[in-house]
Amino acid sequence: MALILLTNDDGYDAAGLQALYKILRKNHEVFVVAPDAQQSGASHSLTLRKPIRVEKLQDKFFIVNGTPTDCVLLAYHDLMKTGIDLVVSGINHGPNMGSDVFYSGTVAAALQGASMGIRSVAISIVGDASCDFTDAVEYSCDLIERIMASDRGDLILNVNIPEGKIKGEKVTRMGKRIYKDKVIRDREKKNVIYSIIDGVLSYRADTDTDFKAIDKHYVSITPLKLDLTDFEVMKSLAEHIKGKTQ
């Protein structure tokens, strides 16, 4: 039996988290620390220098007036105080593919867990809160068992599950998300402007990408890493931006 920290960015009462929690707790000790409200798009933001409200709803179930990153930090440093075997973030309502990972609170929670040396997985379904989570939960629980059985202690997985029938799974790379952003000026009064950021999402389904796997109705499993250093450019950068030597 593993000790699992379960969180998300849709809020503690989201259908995806609740469906996974109900089944996952049958075989594991599950500790829920989740936002008290919607935090989609929060990325890796955290709350500094002001109190964060934490409410205990029931044994091992807390809601936080903060971000997914706050939830993981509070669980690790204060609420649990024991060895967390796995951080599970999700099941998120809607996909997190390609460069979505830079904006996603779901993925950020997994990255935060990994930064503290804990195996972590972010799970999203390509559907909204009204979809049937049965197959997604069954698959997620099976994957979690396989992760726990692995001898890799440094796993960070971004998992996207197609809605409905699952044909299988593929290990993928991040695809190309295309953002067609627009800013709508809602109203203006004196020197104050109120604007809405909106737009349309598209993508390019190249070979071996998360988008391609989902298009074919396979689960996409993309391994992530914390180090964003471009080692290829690092080798030649000094030649391109020569400066004074020290």
What digits encode the pLDDT tens for the residues 34-43?
Answer: 999 999 888 9
Q: Which CATH number fits domain 3-174+207-226: 3.40.1210.10, 3.30.1490.20, 3.10.180.10, 3.40.190.10?
A: 3.40.1210.10
Task: Mark 179-198 as b/e (b = at least 16 C-beta within 10 Å).
Answer: eeeeeeeeeeeeeeeeeeee
Residue recorded with tokens 């964003």:
228
Lowest mean pLDDT among 8-17, 131-140, 164-173, 201-210: 201-210
Measured between alpha carbons, how far is 228 from 121 in angstroms, rounded to an integer? 18
Mean pLDDT taken over the chain = 91
Residue recorded with tokens 């009204």:
130
Q: Nearest CA to 5 among 70, 94, 99?
A: 70
Question: Does position 55 have pLDDT exceeding 60, yes or no?
Answer: yes
Percentage of the chain exceeding pLDDT 70: 94
The answer to whether 35 and 5 have CB atoms below 8 angstroms apart is no
pLDDT of residue 200: 60
Question: Does position 165 have pLDDT exceeding 70, yes or no?
Answer: yes
Q: Could you tell me the pTM of the whole model?
A: 0.90
> Averaged over 111-138, what is the pLDDT?
95
pLDDT of residue 246: 46
**Cis peptide, bond prior to residue 91, ω within 30 of zero:** yes
pLDDT of residue 42: 87
